[in-house]
Amino acid sequence: MNDQHTTSVLIDGKALQQRLQDDTLAIIDLSRRDGYLQQHIPGARHLDVGLIMANRPPVMGLLPDIAYLENILGKLGIQADNTIVIYDEEANAKACRLFWTLDALGHQQHFLLDGGLQHWLAEGRPVDNQASSHNPKCYRANANNQCVADRDYLLSRLGDADTRILDVRSAAEFEGIDKRSQRGGHIPGAIHLEWLKCIDCENSMRLRKEDELRQLLHQADILPEHEVIIHCQTHQRSAHTYVVLKHLGYPRVRGYAGAWSDWGNHPETPIANER
C-alpha cells in the first residue's frame, strides 16, 4: 500500500477499493453491529470496540492481556502477516483505538481508512450487507510497549522538559467542569488540544491537511522532537490523536490506557484545577 494514495498510516477510499480482492487484506469495521449489518465495505469483518478494552471499574479502557487480544484477532481469521485496514461509522475514534492496539501488538501493516465509512459512502463506493465469516487463525503478537503509557510511567515524566502531556478531551472536561471521574481537572502541565480540531467535518470526517495539523500542534508546542503522551477519558478520542501524530511522523508517541478514568479516580494523583 505504499503508493500515492497512502501515508504510513492512512489509506484513502480509491486505494482501498483497488485492493478489495486481495486475499492478504483484512478489513475491520468497528461500527455498531446493527449499522454493520445494514451496510459495510465488502468483505469487512465486524469487531465490537468493547472487546479490545479491559475495564476494571471505575477504571475503563485499559489494554487487555496480549494473549486475550491474540485470541480476538485469531477468531476474526487474522494473522500477523495480514495487511489490516480499519474504519468505523463515526469519526474513527473506535477504529483508532484498534490501530493503537495493533501498534501495541507489534503488527507491521495496518492502516486507517481516512474519513471512515462516511467518506466511503460520500464517494459512492460499494457496500454490502452480508456478514463476513472467516476461518479462525493463529495470531501471534510481537508486543511493543513503546506506544503504551500507564499511570506510573506518566508520573515519572511529570515536569520533564522533553515530554508533552496532551489532553484531547473537551475544554469543559479539561477545566473540571464536565466531571466524569471522582475528581475533575487535568494533569499538571498538560496541554489541551481537543481531538475534534484535527478533523475536517466539512470533508466527510477526513483528517485536516497536513500543514493545518502541523500548525495546530506547533501552536500548542507539541513538536516532533518531544515525547508525547496522549489521553482522554478512556483512550478512544486520544487514540485518534495518536494516529494523527503517527501520520505526521512523530517518532515518540504513547497512549495512556485507562486515561482520566484512571488518573481522576485515583486518590493521590496530582491534579491541576481540581474540582
**Peptide bond preceding 58 in cis form (omega within 30 of 0):** yes
Residue with cell 449489518: 37
In sign, the C-alpha dihedral spanning 72, 74, 76, 81 is positive
CA angle 136, 15, 73 (to 5 degrees): 20
Q: Which of 96, 147, 198, 232 is catalytic?
A: 232
Give the whole-angstrom CA distance, residue 263 versus residue 60: 11
Give the whole-angstrom CA distance, residue 250 versus residue 117: 26
Distance, C-alpha 266 to centroid of its chain: 24
Listed in sequence order, the residues at least 6 apart from 129 whose beta carbon sits closer than 8 Å to its beta carbon are 37, 38, 39, 40
Write out the three cell numbers for 40: 459495510
CA angle 109, 66, 232 (to 5 degrees): 80
Beta bridge partner(s), residue 85: 27, 111
147 among known catalytic residues: no
Q: What is the DSSP secondary structure assignment for residue 93, as one 8-state letter?
A: H
C-beta of residue 118 within 8 angstroms of C-beta of residue 206: no
Q: What is the DSSP secondary structure assignment for residue 50, as one 8-state letter?
A: G
Please list the active-site residues.
232
